[in-house]
Amino acid sequence: MTVVLGGALRARARPPIVGPLVTEPAGRSDADLARRVLASPGAAGPEEAELCRRFAPRVRLFGLRHLRDEEAAGELTQRVLLLLLEKLRAGEVTAPERVASFVLGVARRTALAMRRDGARLAPLEPDALPAEAAAPPDPLLAARLAGCLEALGERERSVVVLTFYQGQGAAEIAAALALSEGNVRVVRHRGVGRLRACLEGAA
Amino acid sequence: MSCGAPLSLEALLAYRQGELDDAAAGEVEEHYFACAACAAALAWLEGLGAAVAGLVGVGAVSAAVTGALVERAAAQGLRVRTYRLAPGGRVACTAAPEDDLVALRLAVDAPEGEGVDLVAEVVDAASGARFTRRTDDVVVDRVAGEAVLVHAGAQIRAFPRTRWELELRTRGPAPRALGAYTLEHTPWEELPGTA
């Protein structure tokens, strides 16, 4: 079965560079959308697209955490959303009020399969592949972030850089710098909080 | 879009960095899959991490780091010019046009549990003008026994011919010198044979 995903999934889920934290107003719940798709299988395109738009970034974040690879996280996202739409259209999601747990469960099983069987997974249908366009980097936001990093305290900047460039956890950073893990967590939390405030102030 | 019991920034950081056990990580996942606000907060954090890594990856960030980070940057293709100095050491230094980063690796026996400051007395070779640059609370790579300072190549290239007398010292009301180091900086274009 070929499932052509709506335009919402084609939108790039990952921002090219971080800006202020932006949230969106509440609308219909995930469960409401799932009920609508269940009630009108194949005739609820906008609701399907909205579900994909909402869950794509969540699945991608899950994939980054568990598969440690942007490309693999993107593939996981496609596989999970395809299965979600198939199950909804087939009426096989029996508890729409728990659609988030359903998606998480599918993500866990699919990630496990990708780690275990990686190369043996069936390729996706070409039509199902999202046509993501590479977003150009935003030099203005990059300059803002560089300025915000420069404004951090020396220790905060060091811990932030080791966290995000070196990918180190608090225990590794603490061991390298002979600090306590608690101190690293405090410095990291303060540094990220100051970056957020600085970026929001620069918006 | 709001959340009655939002995940803390610390919980999101610990989750992203893989510091939580399976049960705790699972709880975070159950929450953000059902919570648009916390999913957005985690996505913002992920974007921040990628953006910071991107800036470091193009040599646009100056910071005290570890030797391992310098080696990773070089392995990922950054052009890193490195100067290693023991206490009392002196070196003639520069930054070439193609250098992304200049790494200064100062050997130091820093006492555990004490913070370290860096004080630089800078003398302009042409005018004789002096100024002092102080950097408080510099982290030290205790595994390697070094203070590892990386600077963007562009930042170093902007300096005129200068002498930098550096001193690492303990923090606090009665600082103790841990090591002195001298850098004789010459702009690349003033070096013989580079014009």
Between A40 and A103, where is the model more confident?
A103
| A195 occurs within a structural domain | yes
Q: Is the pLDDT of residue A131 over 70?
A: no
Of A26-30, B74-78, B80-84, B141-145, where does mean pLDDT reach its minimum?
A: A26-30
Q: Is the pLDDT of residue A8 over 50?
A: no
CATH number reported for the structural domain that contains residue A146 in this entry: 1.10.10.10
Of A109, A128, A147, at which residue does a domain stop? A128
Looking at the structure, tell me whether residues A64 and A162 fall in a common domain. no
Closest Cα of chain B to A119: distance in Å? 25
Nearest CA to B62 out of B154, B178, B188 is that of B154
Looking at the structure, tell me whether residues A154 and A118 fall in a common domain. no
Buried b (16+ CB within 10 A) or exposed e, A128-148: bebeeeeeeebeebbebbbeb
Could you tell me the residue range of the domain that residue A14 belongs to?
7-128
Q: What is the mean pLDDT of residues A22-49?
A: 78
Looking at the structure, tell me whether residues A143 and A87 fall in a common domain. no
| A94 occurs within a structural domain | yes
| A2 occurs within a structural domain | no
Looking at the structure, tell me whether residues A155 and A117 fall in a common domain. no
pLDDT tens digits, residue range A69-117? 889 999 999 999 999 999 998 888 889 899 999 999 999 999 999 988 7
Looking at the structure, tell me whether residues A169 and A197 fall in a common domain. yes
Looking at the structure, tell me whether residues A115 and A173 fall in a common domain. no
Torsion, CA A141, CA A144, CA A145, CA A148, rounded to 10 = -160
Looking at the structure, tell me whether residues A109 and A34 fall in a common domain. yes
Contact B18 A169 (CB under 8 A): yes
Q: Spell out the alpha helix ranges (H) of chain A.
A: 7-10, 30-39, 45-67, 70-89, 99-117, 139-151, 154-164, 170-177, 181-202
Out of A146, A171, A196, the one facing B55 most closely (by C-beta) is A146
Contact B40 A23 (CB under 8 A): yes
Q: What is the mean pLDDT of residues B130-141?
A: 94
Q: Is the pLDDT of residue A128 over 90?
A: no
The DSSP symbol for A20 reads S
Of A66, A94, A128, at which residue does a domain stop? A128
- Residues of chain B found within 8 Å of residue A185, distances taken between Cβ atoms: 10, 13-14
Domains, chain B, ordered by start? 9-57 (no CATH), 79-190 (2.60.40)
Strand partners, B181: B166
Q: What is the pLDDT of residue A125?
A: 53
Distance of CA B81 to the CA centre of its chain: 14
Looking at the structure, tell me whether residues A92 and A161 fall in a common domain. no
| A1 occurs within a structural domain | no
Closest Cα of chain B to A168: distance in Å? 7
Q: What is the mean pLDDT of residues B153-178?
A: 94
φ, ψ of residue A114 in degrees (nearest 5): -65, -40
Is the complex ipTM more than 0.85?
A: yes
Distances (CA, A) of A135 to A11, A96, A131, B13: 10, 34, 12, 26
Q: Is the pLDDT of residue B138 over 70?
A: yes
- Residues of chain B found within 8 Å of residue A162, distances taken between Cβ atoms: 65-66, 69
Q: Is the pLDDT of residue A22 over 60?
A: no
Domains identified in chain A, total number: 2
Out of B19, B56, B61, the one facing A170 most closely (by C-beta) is B19
Q: Quote the CA–CA distance of A32 and A46 in Å, as a whole number.
A: 13
* pLDDT tier for residue B57 given thresholds of 50, 70 and 90: confident
Angle between the B36-57 and A181-202 helix axes, to the nearest 10 degrees?
A: 90
Looking at the structure, tell me whether residues A145 and A79 fall in a common domain. no
Looking at the structure, tell me whether residues A27 and A58 fall in a common domain. yes
| A133 occurs within a structural domain | no
| A177 occurs within a structural domain | yes
Looking at the structure, tell me whether residues A13 and A104 fall in a common domain. yes
| A166 occurs within a structural domain | yes
Of A78, A94, A128, at which residue does a domain stop? A128
Interface test with B, best of A164, A172, A181, A186 (most B CBs within 10 A): A164
| A112 occurs within a structural domain | yes
Nearest CA to B132 out of B147, B146, B117, B110 is that of B117
A178 contacts B142 by C-beta, under 8 angstroms: yes
Looking at the structure, tell me whether residues A196 and A159 fall in a common domain. yes
> B133 in helix, strand or coil?
strand
